[in-house]
Structure 1
Amino acid sequence: MCGIVGCILKNDDDVAPILFDCISKLEYRGYDSIGLATYSENKIHIKKDKGKIKEVDDKLNLTDMPGNFGIAHVRWATHGDPSKLNSHPHVDEKRNVAVVHNGIIENYLEIKENLISEGHVFKSDTDTEVIPHLIEKFMNEGFDLEHAVRKTIDIIHGAYAIAAISTDEPDKIVATRKDSPLIVGIGEEGYYLASDSPAILKYARDIIYPEKGEIVVLDKNGVVVHDEFDNVVNKEIETINWTPEMAEKEGYDHFMIKEINEQSTAVRNTLTQKENIQEIIDDIDDIQRICFVACGTSYHAALSGKYLIESLAGVPTDVILASEFKYSAKTLNDKTLVVFISQSGETADSLKALDVANETSKTLAIVNVAGSSMTRRAKYVIQTQAGPEIGVAATKTYVAQLTSIYLFAALLAKDDELLKELDKVPDYIDETLESKELIKQLSKRYNYTNDFFYLGRGFTYPTALEGALKLKEISYIHGEGYAAGELKHGPLALIDKRTPVVVIVPPGDAHRKTMSNLEEVKSRGANVLAIGSASDDALKTKASDVISINPEVNELIAPLVYIVPLQLVAYYITIEKEYDPDKPRNLAKCVTVE
């Protein structure tokens, strides 16, 4: 859940301003501290502290550091409180080695005890600090930096992306990864490392994706990658088609509202994957069961997939949280297609589950980030076309995932009418976004509460879950999504005038029963914010407030459109409460530890 950056320039310019710029682009990953390390004149220079990037920079002037190569880090505390000592980069006691690390070293206590018994002195409470001490130990035994890193990863257990520099080998950065993201960028002015592409898009768009256990060496002359047997690996270079501008706010107050407004484009671009999806379906003949595996927002997209595939294609479909997958793994066989959904393609729980599923079943990944671990490990890949998403709370990547699932379900069921309807969805979203100002004003009425309920039936039940998640993620109001028919089985006891209820009521088979549920909560005193068709006159008389969707969108397509006002409600309530929707507390964009 941290972010790392490395850079070595071909010329002798100072690298600190570039490191600072790159690491600032990884704020969205979640962090509580920042640090940089550069090298010059046989010395490693380090500036680091807890706090937001601007706060630390104002105090330490992070761009004023000598040297043309270095590493940088934003940390989200896992071992040890946020503090200057616990911030990265970490060094050995002689300050000959500096390291940044994303992940968790599971056996660090055992390693630390052994190193202390050998005379090593530790200063932090982190698991990471064992890494520079191990590298120093092996370099003292005669290994160069690259092979000292290799010896180190033979000892440590867990997930990691690591970048290291040493005073004994100037003009070199050595990096490696296992179950944590790491990319290598090749630019005109130098060579780069990063946890995610937005960090380096400004400087390099030609990218190499190291595999688990490979060692990457960057120097002024280029990039060399070695496998676990020390053989040079000729890596394919991929060009990222995202521009730096795509990862900027472009005049919006927050990335989240920018990305909400980009959703019609995300859907339109993802619809271009129809041919690729048809090829996958043609190749997975004789599949008797589909199993979705996902986390968080992607889990809600998967739930929509279950409703779609079972109702349209009649294929039994399960949805399993990635963290719970191992308890169901024995039900898999060669007639099962296991579908993994992840924005980043680096979600730790999902990657573990993918490795298990690959042993018995065909696997499909629905992923937004090209070249991510999941795209390289799944048999089939559907690349969503949302572009870079910086806001921690997923918006446009969610609708892109849904679009991919709708395409898959429609093609699997040979439903030409649904395919035609999907082509209209971008316009439906744009028309819904025209209600932003109304939704903003309505949202001001609902920031008083500590609890919110969201109700949906059938296809809109997962939409209720996702709407509730958006609210709790960024506004810190407890939001709970329920299948509307479950009200009498417990939740109704919590409904009173202090508990507003969002009811999702599109036209369709579930409309009448959902309206009955609306009246149930209304009669218990709840304020009801309903989302339904502009032509639904009954809804306007029953609900306290209504967000109207025009033109009329039926319940089958509703999840792709009705989520937009729910995202806007969460966003505007958050703004009213004066919180930053792009950086919710305790959360990170990419969850790379289990």
Structure 2
Amino acid sequence: MCGIVGVVGRGPASALLLDALKRLEYRGYDSAGIATLEDGSLTRRRAVGKLANLKSRLDSEPLAGRIGIGHTRWATHGRPDETNAHPHMVDGVAIVHNGIIENHRELRNDLKAAGAHFATETDSEVVAHLVSRERKNGYEPVAAVRKVLPRLSGTFALAFLFEGHDNLLIGARKGSPLAVGYGCGEMFLGSDAMALAPLTDIVAYLEDGDLAVVTREQIEFIDVNGARLRRTSAKVAGAAVIVHKGEHRHFMAKEIHEQPKVVGQTLAQYIARDGTIRLPAGVDVDFGTVDRVSIVACGTSFYAGLIAKYWFERYARLPVEIDIASEFRYRDVPFGAGNLAIFVSQSGETADTLASLEFAKTHGQHVLSVVNVQTSTMARSSDIVMPTLAGPEIGVASTKAFTCQLAILLCIAIAAGRSRGVLSTEDERSLVRALAQIPDYMAHALELEPKVHELAREIARARDALFIGRGTNYPLALEGALKLKEVTYIHAEGYAAGELKHGPIALIDKGLPVIVIAPYDATFEKTMSNMQEVIARGGRIILLTDERGAALAASSGCSVLALPDIPPAVAPLALAVPLQLLAYHSAAIMGTDVDQPRNLAKSVTVE
């Protein structure tokens, strides 16, 4: 979950590296560092915490040199302190690393036995020692790296800088993403195209096992045996868009408010003029022959998939197996030949989801990805890509990507239902009409913000919170609880409302806020009964419902957030907005770091 960047430039490298690292800070902000070659010698600056601390260090202690590497860290091995911060330097070799070297203990012990002395607790430092040892054995930089890589188990994106070689960077990839960028008399490498956007819009991606030998004049791709490889570069449209908070205090607030627009843009890809769903050209799935759908994701994307399970089973009569990516490939999953596996991710670089995708491909599944980054590894590895148009999401806690994922998953479910003969043309058009109104429903949800802010004052004083719902509102309860945990650090749990009496009701007291998600639908009355059980035990209720539900709950004495009456099929997209606002305002009142919560990173590129 770290971010790496490298520059072989025409002018001072440190400012370019720092700017690129700003775009990678979503990958980790425990520490950051830069190393450059100055008059042939390696120098570096590192700082604990966010990138601003490194900038202050560089302001007082500038780095010269036209070539360098940089790193922003999310700690896996070793405490987040300056000693463990990258780049690591050993006898004329500097490296930055994203990933995990799983056999680092064995390698460290071998190196220590040979007399090596380690400065850090990290797994990454062993790579610098191994390459340095090969250099001492007489190997040139490229050959030294080639000899070391086969010894590394795990995942890595690596960049190497060598003392005395002011026109050479080496990049290597196994599992973790790495891209290179082309300039005029300068070249770049980075964890993704977004990092390189201020520098270039011509990008190529390393595949697993690739090495990139980068000089100011060219980029050469080779494998560990030295054989040349062909990798195609392409222009990355829109990557250099500069993202600002605008009038908002935090990116999370801005991204919540962008949802009517971006969900509308996403839906516009899939709604035809005749009021039916139009899947993109090249989406070649015969849903009539599909016996089962597997949906795999992590975190918020998993909850989007869990809501989609209800949709596929109701509107397409397709059984759905929904799984967390980190569990999926370690179970002995009985695949049916030719079935559909859907992978959902904001970044398209989530390590567990990518590994599960490859696992599904080896078992003959059609692979479809719902992803926000069309140049991501997941998109490039899939048979079918269904892109969301959420735009860059900077806040670590996902908001607009979640609702855009929901929009696409519902479109797929409707298309499947039509293909399988479950939905008539009029059924489809009725659902599509409801979908087309979602941006308006979301705008109404945003109008609840002043009341949400007042309720957030109560949440901010709580130590725990409980979210409950039925049907698609159950996954929303899970997502609401996750959002609150992520940005406030308040312990929160999401439960199916019918499970209340099977344990969670023991938690109820006057200090526990219970957020009940219950628009008027087929299970409304049953959820109201669960709500009354909470009230009878002194619990404090916040009811998220619609106008009809609010009228029926008027005498209950709970706090009510009421949206307009919304067709149940599309209600999750609008109901998500007040839950996001509740988490956001609670965190803002508490003064936590809303956009970059402690211990979290946006793109989880390690298992």
1:464 lines up with 2:488 in the alignment: no
Cα 1:293–1:176 shift into 2, 3 Å:
same
In the aligned structure 2, how far is the partner of 1:524 from the partner of 1:428? 34
TM-score norm. by structure 1 comes to: 0.95
Which whole-Å deviations, capped at 9, do the CAs of 1:326-354 have from their partners, x for residues lacking one?
34343112142111111111111112211
Alpha-carbon distance in structure 1 between the residues aligned to 2:449 and 2:602: 25
* Structure 2: gaps spanning 5 or more residues: 271-277, 419-427
Residue in 1 that maps onto 2:343:
340
Cα distance, 1:487 vs structure 2: 0.9
Q: Residues 518, 187 of structure 1: CA spacing in aligned structure 2 closer, same or farther, 3 A cutoff?
A: farther
* Post-superposition offset of 1:61: 2.8
Q: 2:574 aligned with 1:561, yes or no?
A: yes
- Tell me if structure 1 keeps the 8 A contact 2:260–2:443: yes
Equivalent position SS for 2:544? strand
Write out aligned runs for 1:341-420 (5 A).
Answer: 341-360=344-363, 361-414=365-418, 415-420=428-433
Please point out which of 502, 505, 512 is paired with 1:489: 502
Contact 2:267 2:436 in 1 (8 A): yes
Could you tell me how far apart the structure 2 residues matched to 1:242 and 1:262 are? Answer: 18
User: Gaps spanning 5+ residues in structure 1: where?
Assistant: none
Look up the match of 2:208: 212
* Residue 521 (structure 1) aligned with residue 521 (structure 2): no
Partner secondary structure for residue 61 of structure 1: helix
Pick the aligned partner of 1:137 from 129, 133, 136: 133
Give, in whole Å, the separation in 2 of the partners of 1:170 and 1:363: 43
Question: Equivalent of 1:26, from 21, 24, 27?
Answer: 24
Deviations 1:426-473 (A, max 9, x none): 121122212222221221122111111111111211111101100001
- 1:231 paired residue number: 227
Residue number in structure 2 paired with 1:72:
70
Which whole-Å CA distance do the structure 2 matches of 1:399 and 1:199 have between them?
A: 25
Give the TM-score taking structure 2 as reference length: 0.93
Q: 1:245 to 1:354 in 2, by over 3 A?
A: closer
| CA positional deviation for 1:278 | 7.3
Aligned-residue CA RMSD in angstroms?
1.9
Q: Are positions 1:2 and 2:16 aligned together?
A: no
For residues 313 and 348 of structure 2, the distance between their equivalents in structure 1, rounded to whole angstroms, comes to 26
Matched, 1:14 2:4: no
SS in 1 for 2:226: coil
Q: Deviations over 1:516-543 (max 9, x none)?
A: 2221111211111111113431223325
Q: Which amino acid aligns with 1:402?
A: L
Q: Which amino acid aligns with 1:87?
A: A
Partner of 1:323: 326
Amino acid at match of 1:482: Y
Instruction: Give CA deviations for 1:475-499 in whole Å, capped at 9, x if unaligned.
Output: 0111111111111111111111111
Corresponding position of 2:316? 313
Q: Which of the residues 443, 451, 456 maps onto 1:430?
A: 443
2:604 match: secondary structure: coil
Q: Distance in 2 between matches of 1:172 and 1:284?
A: 51
Q: Determine the structure 2 residue equivalent to 1:511.
A: 524
Identity %: 39
2:26 and 2:603 in contact (8 A); partners too: no
Equivalent in the alignment of 1:41:
39
Note the 1:81-230 alignment, pairs <5 A.
81-92=79-90, 94=91, 96-187=92-183, 190-230=186-226
- Residues 344 and 542 (structure 1 numbering): CA distance in 2 closer, same or farther, change over 3 Å? same
Q: What is the CA–CA distance in structure 2 between the aligned matches of 1:153 and 1:543, rounded to whole Å? A: 65
The aligned amino acid for 1:443 is: A
**Offset from partner CA, 1:133-158 (integer Å, 9 cap, x none):** 21122223333322322222111111
Which of the residues 516, 524, 542 maps onto 2:556? 542
Give 3-state SS (helix, strand or coil) of 1:217's partner: strand
Judged with a 3 Å threshold, the aligned counterparts in structure 2 of structure 1 residues 246 and 65 are, in CA distance, closer, same or farther, namely: closer
Distance 2:339 2:6 in 1: 41
Q: Would the aligned equivalents of 1:393 and 1:470 in 2 still touch at CA under 8 Å?
A: yes
Please give the secondary structure, in 2, of the residue aligned with 1:48: strand
Flag the 1:117–1:62 CA change in 2: closer, same or farther, 3 A. Answer: farther
Question: In the alignment, what sits opposite 1:270?
Answer: 266
**AA of the residue aligned to 1:146:** V
Tell me what 2:422 maps to. Answer: none
Instruction: In structure 2, give the amino acid aligned to 1:23.
Output: L
2:239 & 2:193 partners in 1: Cα distance?
10
Alpha carbons of structure 1 residues 327 and 128: separation in structure 2 relative to 1, 3 Å: closer
Distance 1:586 1:564, change over 3 A: same
- Measure, in 2, the Cα distance between the counterparts of 1:42 and 1:243: 33
SS in 2 for 1:358: helix
Residue 402 of structure 1 and its aligned partner are, at CA, apart by 0.7
Q: CA deviation at 1:72?
A: 0.5
Contact 2:519 2:546 in 1 (8 A): yes
Q: CA distance change for structure 1 residues 222 and 543 in 2, over 3 Å: closer, same or farther?
A: farther
Q: Distance in 2 between matches of 1:277 and 1:510?
A: 35
Query: Contact conserved, 2:287 with 2:416, CA < 8 A, in 1?
Result: no
Give the structure 1 partner of residue 424 of structure 2. none
Q: Displacement of 1:189 after TM fit? A: 7.0
Distance 1:346 1:232 in 2: 26
Give, as a single letter, the amino acid of the residue that structure 2 aligns with 1:384. Answer: T
Query: For 1:247, what is the secondary structure of its paired residue?
Result: coil
Residues 220-278 of structure 1 show CA distances to partners (whole Å, capped at 9, x for unaligned) of 11322224453333322233333544533223211111111111222122224424457
Q: Is the 8 A contact 1:297 1:394 kept in 2?
A: yes
